[in-house]
Amino acid sequence: MNDSAQVQQPPRPGRGPGRPAGARAGDTATRDRILDVARELFAQGTYGSTTVRAVALAADVNPALVIHYFGSKHELFAAALQLPLQMRDQITQILQGDPRGLAERLVRFYLGLWRLPASRAPIAAMFRSVFSDQEAADALGRFLTTRILGPIMDDLGHDRPDLRMSLAATQLVGLAIGRHILSVAPLAEADTDFLVACVSPVIQHYLTGPLPATRPGNRGPGTGIL
């Protein structure tokens, strides 16, 4: 072995114990690099197969730094969608206007997520995983109920919000799987206006319509959707 092979190489940025060198809390370039890598890995694989460690390795940073910036894999996924700020504005717009058109605006927004390059691939990856990966199913439920339906139900203030969210989320999941994952011909070929007209009355009833009373002895509503 020659001498040059024994020379210790300087540590790469982002490696080593503690906060890695060159990766300060305010280092937006490092954060953006992690986000770009996560977006690519989520799109290529599944939600379950994309681990924090894999993202850190591909981004050449310590896994602790991923958690430092994003808190958890679920929050990393949400950030990879590039939607939070835009989504808050759009949810506010959904809540405005005639309450009778609430579901129409919601379904149109939801279908629009599949047309955005930043959100289509990672959302599709998560949907592909839901039947074989419980973690992906849980993440999908949180994404729909917490980030999309939750703010709407909080504003409406109707009874049994968890049940209403579960019913609406189940309808939205089925629509997306049929249209974008299974590519069922009538759904895949239908235009947005047609689908909005078909689905929004059902969603509207789930969100604001009267629900039947729960029979004694029946299991109470939960928050899961799959």
Residues 106 and 70 in one domain: no
φ/ψ of 184, rounded to 5, equals: -60, 125
CA distance 65 to 75: 14
pLDDT in tens, 123-177: 787 787 777 778 777 877 877 887 788 888 888 888 999 999 999 999 999 999 9
Place of tokens 């689908």: 195
pLDDT in tens, 88-131: 677 778 888 888 899 999 999 889 888 877 677 777 877 877 77
Question: Which residues make Cβ contacts (< 8 Å) with residue 226, sequence separation at least 6?
Answer: 130, 137, 140, 141, 173
- Burial of 28 per CB tally in 10 Å (0-12, 13-18, 19+): exposed
How much is the average pLDDT of 178-194? 93
Residues 122 and 190 in one domain: yes
Residues 66 and 121 in one domain: no
Here the CATH number for the domain that contains residue 38 is 1.10.10.60
pLDDT of residue 217: 55
Question: Which residues make Cβ contacts (< 8 Å) with residue 145, sequence separation at least 6?
Answer: 165, 166, 169, 223, 225
Residues 64 and 118 in one domain: no
DSSP classification of residue 169: H
pLDDT of residue 135: 76
Residues 69 and 89 in one domain: no
pLDDT in tens, 23-39: 454 578 999 999 989 98
CA distance 116 to 122: 11
35 belongs to a structural domain:
yes
Domain that holds residue 18: 9-74
DSSP classification of residue 97: S
pLDDT of residue 151: 84
pLDDT of residue 21: 41
Closest to 151 measured CA to CA, from 106, 108, 116: 106
Here the CATH number for the domain that contains residue 186 is 1.10.357.10
pLDDT of residue 14: 40
Residues 46 and 96 in one domain: no
Residues 104 and 173 in one domain: yes
Closest to 87 measured CA to CA, from 119, 117, 123, 130: 119
Residues 130 and 177 in one domain: yes
Percentage of residues of the chain with pLDDT beyond 70? 79
218 belongs to a structural domain:
no
- Burial of 121 per CB tally in 10 Å (0-12, 13-18, 19+): middle
CA distance 147 to 133: 21
